[in-house]
Structure 1
C-alpha cells in the first residue's frame, strides 16, 4: 500500500510556535503593568513576517475597533495587540535561542513524515549548504555585539550577520532553513567575530547524528581550508567545498604534478539542454594535501567545465574538494551536489532579502537581543512558508494559481485588511474557493 502523503494544516504550525513560548524570560517587575504577555509580543512580530505586511497589526487594531474582532486574534492567537514599541521593549531582553526549538520541532516533523526523503542525494544523504549574510547595517545605531567596518573617510559602518544553514537538493526547488548561527562578538572576546569562527561554533554545536541521515556540507572557498574541513570530519560530516586555485597553492601544485604523471582522470559527456548541445568535461584526482606539511588533511578534487559544443565557448567552470571517493560513476552527482550550493543564495538569502522578507531592513535593533530575535522570527516565517509549500495542498494550489510571490502576498495583505477569518485554514480555503476564481474571471 502506498504511503499517505504528509500534510499539515496551517493552524498546526502556529500551535507549534505558540506552544514553545510559555516559559520565555520576562524581566518586568511583578508590580509593573503587564497588560501584554511576552508570548503575545512574539506572535505579533511573527504575524508581520508571516503575512509580509508591515501594517498588519495597525489594520487589525482598526478592524477590532469597527467589528469587535480581528485577524490578529483569530489567526495568530493574539488576544491584545501591543504597539510596535511595546513589542520591541518586550522582546529585547529575550535571547533568540529561546525559540530555536521551533526550528528543531519542524525538522523532526518533516523527518518523521518522510518529507526529507525528497531531498536525499548522493548516498541517501542530506545536503546542508552554509553561507554568511548580513541582516542589519547602520552608521549610527550600534550595540556591544555589532561588528564594524572603518572607512577611509573616517566613518564607521556597524552591522550584524549570521550563517544560515539550509537543506538543498538538485531535485527540489525549495530549501529548508535551520536556526541561524550569529556572527557577533563573543563574551570575553575583544576581537570582532567573523563567518569562519561562526561556522566552527555551528559545527561544534551540531553533530551529524542529530539529522537522522548522513550529511554532506556545501560551502564556498572560505570553508575549504584545514580548520573547517578537519572539524567537519571530526563531527561526522562529509563535505563538498568550492576550492579556488588562488587560495590553495599547495593543492594545485600537487595537482599539476599528478596531471603530468597522467593521474588526473578526464571524462566528457554530452547533454542537450533543450536548445543546444553542451559538453560536460569532468576532471578529478584523489588524495591531494589541503595545505603544506605532514598534518594536512587529504582531500579529493574535481572540476567541471561546461562548453557550448557549437561555439566551443565555456559557459561554466568550477572546482571542488571533497572527502567523498570520486569515481566515473558518481562524478556527475558530486558536481551537481556542489553546484546546488547556489540555492542558499538564490532560493535562500536572495529571497529573504529581495522578495518580501526584507532581511536587511532594520525592524528594530534594541540594546540586547532584539535584532537577533526579529531575524529569527523572519527566518521562522520563511520556514513555515516552505513547509506549507511542501505539504499543504491548499497553499500549494494558491501559489500555483497566483504564480508570483509578489501577487500572492499582495493579495494576502489586501484580504486580511478588510475581511475577518476564523483561522488560517479558513483564510486560505476562502482564497482558493472564492477569491482566485473571481480574480481570474475579472482578468479574462
Structure 2
C-alpha cells in the first residue's frame, strides 16, 4: 500500500531520455523589451547576482549601446562561472561585431526569422532563399570569428518547418555542429501534446530537430495562450536540453515561460535534480516589484504573497497538523514564509493556534489552549460579527489579534454565563460555514 503523507513519500518523475538539462535566462534581454519597463545598469547587475545565487547556467544580453556594455563589463569583472554572459545579434555581420567587441563574451545568439510573415512582410526579403543565405552567412561569420552560436529560429510554430526550416537547420549544423538550435514559439502557438504535428507540436519539432543531428536544442516559449510552462517542460521531455526563460515571465505582450516555475518543477518533481538554489527567488520577486515596477499577483505561483497563506478553517486546520496537507513544497525551498490568517472563513483551530502564538510571545512561556475554550469562541464570535455586519473586508492582523488576546486572556480571563450564551447564539447563527 502506498502512503503519501510527506514530500519524501511522493515519487519523482524521470525525464524519458535522461539528458542533463539547463536554463538560459533572458530577463535582461527579452524581459527588458516589456512595454513600460526600463532596466538601469544597477538593475541588470542585481538580476545577474540573483541568477548567480540560483545557479542559472547562462544569460543573454544586448550589447548595442554603451549602458548595456557597461553592465556587461561589470558582470564579467565579477568572475563568476555562472551565469555565463552571452550576446544577441540580428543576422548580419555588423551586429555580430558588437558582440565580438565585448572581450569576455564567447557565445552569441543570432536571430533567424522563419515564418513567411516575418521573412517577407517584416524583413522585406524576396523570399526563403534570400533568408537562408542571410542566416547561413551570419552564422558562418560568427563561427569564423571564434564565437559559439545559438540559432534563434523565430516564429517556428507558424512556419513551414518541413519545407523550409528543417533543411535550413541542417545547413546551419554543417557550419557549426554544436550550434544550439533555439525553437522560438514567438506567439505562443505551440502545444505540448505528442500527437500534434508541425507547425504547432513542440514534441514533434524537438524530435525532428534531434533527427537533423542537433546536439543542443533550446525552447523559447511565449505565453500568449498560457501554454509556455507546459511547452517548456514538454521540450525537456522529448529531448531538448535547454530552456530559455525569464524571471516572473517578463517580456513582450503576455511574456515568456517563467524561470522560477520551471526551476521549482525540476527541483521538486524530477528525480536527481538538485542543482539550483531557489532560496532567494521570493526576495528576487520583491526586488523586481519594488525596483523595476513589475506587479507580482498575490496568487502567482512560487513567489506570490498568498502561496503559503492560509485562512479557511479546513485549510488552516490541515496546515497546523501537517503542512504537507495543503502546501506543494516547503516555503523555505523558495525563501517564502508560511502565514496563517484569520478572516471570514476561519475556524476555531487557526484562532486557537494564533492565540497560543500570541500568548507565548506576550508571556514568554509555552501555553496550550484548547479550541473549545470559551475565550477562543468569544474571539471568533467578535471577529465573525465584523464580517457578518460587513464592517470588515480584510484579514485580522496580528496586532489586532493581540488586543483580543489581552482582552479575553489577561483583562477578562473568565467568560461569564451571560457571555457564554451570547457566544453560543452567535455559533448557532453562524452554522457550519466555518469548520475547523
> Is TM-score (shorter-chain normalized) higher than 0.5?
no
When normalised by structure 1's length, the TM-score is 0.28
Q: Which has the higher contact order (CA 8 A, sep 6+)?
A: 1
Q: TM-score, normalised by structure 2?
A: 0.29
The structure with more strand, counted as a fraction of residues? 1
Larger Rg over CA atoms: 2
